[in-house]
Amino acid sequence: MLDISLSHRAQSIKPSPTLAVTAKAAELRAAGKDIIGLGAGEPDFDTPDHIKKAAIKAIESGQTKYTAVDGTTELKKAIIQKFKNENNLDYEMNQVAVQSGAKHSLYNLFQALLNPGDEVIIPAPFWVSYPDMAKLAGAEPVIIKTTIEDSFKISPEQLRGAISDKSRLFVINSPSNPSGVCYSEQELAALGEVLLEYPDIMVVTDDIYEHILWGQDKFLNILNVCPKLFERTVVVNGVSKAYSMTGWRIGYVGGPASLVKGMNKIASQSTSNPTSIAQAAAVAALTGDQSYIHESTSVFKARHDFVYENLMKIDGINCLKGDGTFYSFPDMNGVIQAMDNIRNDIELAEFFLEEAEVAMVPGSAFGAPGCMRISFATSMEKLEASMERIKRVLA
């Protein structure tokens, strides 16, 4: 067989571990095992009907051709309105663009901004794709570590300590995947103060969990509390989590026109426009009835409370109350230390998968070894069963 050696670029990264756990759970289920999947990073609800109908209408009315690379006028206008109404941010048409999922928005941003040798400052625990996306752009991820004692949030001193003359981009994700915690207004302002001292550093705020929030009255990103960063901040968002539209692949950005133009150039030579039909559906999502958001968030909150209370009852597990998202991120170092045959969170996740038939993503994938990400985007019935199984195998 021909030995095909992959590019250094492809060799420098690993497959997305969150997607890998979900795939592994599906494979074991197909082989007849009764696996409960707590790995999935997507809402378990169906996409609301009015959104699906808009997509069907788009197909039937012939919206089946290429659109502008950066998205249809209609969708871009809806995004501008969304940013204005919900985030108090003003953008022009050349400052917003649509991509095939927020993951793709981030990818194109990293590609358009970063050069080899640039550093990307990423607080841990982080969403799995940020460091590898930095590497794909030839840049170096600089990870700021936090622990459960810090509520998994970085301090202004830590941010300052991570900055060098190579720093090019700072990534913030609040509410956070995987920790579920949210930075407060004061905490964001303190980080903003540090960033204002370093005008060469760009900022990306990944607001994808904006709506899945209960720990604060109102969602705020770093730009809301530090408007002076406007010229060098990119806001990333999408419809995947807010409207249970993960499969539709629509993400979008608001940011400096020149940078957005660079992202569009990259899209024009790679993917072209995001799917025309999904764009029509995203218009319906952003402009239509918003009740789904409130309904789903209250369900996630109830599940969060259940998972939190149950985890806290288990010896060796320490957990924070989350502010939002559909993840809990318990510290399981106590459990690992108490078990003779388990050395780390990866082995512990394997143990849970084999012995309890419960799939979770080990904290190492997020830069926080010893922790475990539990997605509660699944039914209460399955959550109850999984908590029972975890307790049983640890007893």
Residue 41: CB minimum distance to ligand GLU, A:
2
d(CA 261, CA 257): 6
Nearest to ligand GLU of 48, 101 (CB atom)? 101
41 is an interface residue for ligand GLU by CB under 6 A: yes
Q: Which residues pair with 144 in a beta bridge?
A: 123
With CB cut-offs between 5 and 8 Å by kind, which of ligand PMP, ligand GLU, none does residue 330 bind?
none
Q: The sheet that has 251-254: what strands, in order across it?
A: 96-99, 251-254, 233-238, 202-206, 167-173, 119-123, 140-144
Residue 241: CB minimum distance to ligand GLU, A:
8
290 is an interface residue for ligand GLU by CB under 6 A: no
Nearest 5°: phi and psi at 103?
Answer: -60, -45
Exposed e or buried b per residue across 224-243, where buried means at least 16 C-beta atoms within 10 angstroms of its C-beta: bbbeebbebbbbbbbbbbbb
Give the CA distances from residue 89 to residues 195, 233, 263, in Å, rounded to whole numbers and listed in that order. 19, 12, 20
Nearest to ligand GLU of 18, 279 (CB atom)? 18
Nearest to ligand PMP of 224, 325 (CB atom)? 325
With CB cut-offs between 5 and 8 Å by kind, which of ligand GLU, ligand PMP, none does residue 238 bind?
ligand PMP
* Count of residues interacting with ligand PMP (CB under 6 A): 13
With CB cut-offs between 5 and 8 Å by kind, which of ligand PMP, ligand GLU, none does residue 259 bind?
none
Residue indicated by tokens 């993917």: 271
Nearest to ligand PMP of 39, 101 (CB atom)? 101
Q: What DSSP state is assigned to residue 251?
A: E
249 is an interface residue for ligand GLU by CB under 6 A: no
* Count of residues interacting with ligand GLU (CB under 6 A): 10
Q: Which of 44, 132, 206, 345 binds ligand PMP (CB under 6 A)?
A: 206
Restricting to residues 69-108, name those near ligand GLU by CB under 6 A.
103
Q: Which of 72, 240, 244, 264 binds ligand PMP (CB under 6 A)?
A: 240
With CB cut-offs between 5 and 8 Å by kind, which of ligand PMP, ligand GLU, none does residue 279 bind?
none
Non-local (6+) Cβ contacts of 150 within 8 A are none
Report yes or no: 205 and 235 within 8 Å, Cβ to Cβ. Answer: yes
Residue type, 91: Y
CB atoms within 10 A of CB 1: 3
Q: Which of 99, 174, 177, 264 binds ligand GLU (CB under 6 A)?
A: 177
Report yes or no: 109 and 99 within 8 Å, Cβ to Cβ. Answer: no
CB atoms within 10 A of CB 7: 7
Stretch of 60-68, 99-107, 185-193, 374-382 contacting ligand PMP, by CB under 6 A: 99-107
Restricting to residues 162-181, name those near ligand PMP by CB under 6 A.
173, 177
Non-local (6+) Cβ contacts of 97 within 8 A are 70, 71, 76, 105, 252, 253, 260, 263, 264, 267
Stretch of 189-197, 238-246, 294-302, 347-355 contacting ligand PMP, by CB under 6 A: 238-246
Residue 19: CB minimum distance to ligand GLU, A:
5
Q: Per 3-state DSSP, what percentage of the chain is helix, strand, and coil (rounded to 5)? A: 45, 15, 40
Nearest to ligand GLU of 42, 74 (CB atom)? 42
Restricting to residues 117-146, name those near ligand PMP by CB under 6 A.
127
Stretch of 13-21, 59-67, 114-122, 133-141 contacting ligand GLU, by CB under 6 A: 13-21
Exposed e or buried b per residue across 185-213, where buried means at least 16 C-beta atoms within 10 angstroms of its C-beta: eebbbbbbebbeeeeebbbbbbbbbbbbb
135 is an interface residue for ligand GLU by CB under 6 A: no
Nearest to ligand PMP of 251, 324 (CB atom)? 251
Residue 126's closest CA among 110, 143, 139? 143
Residue 31 burial by Cβ neighbours in a 10 Å radius (0-12, 13-18, 19+): exposed
Binding-site ranges for ligand PMP (CB under 6 A): 41, 101-103, 127, 173, 177, 206, 208, 238, 240, 246, 251
Binding-site ranges for ligand GLU (CB under 6 A): 16, 18-19, 41-42, 103, 127-129, 177
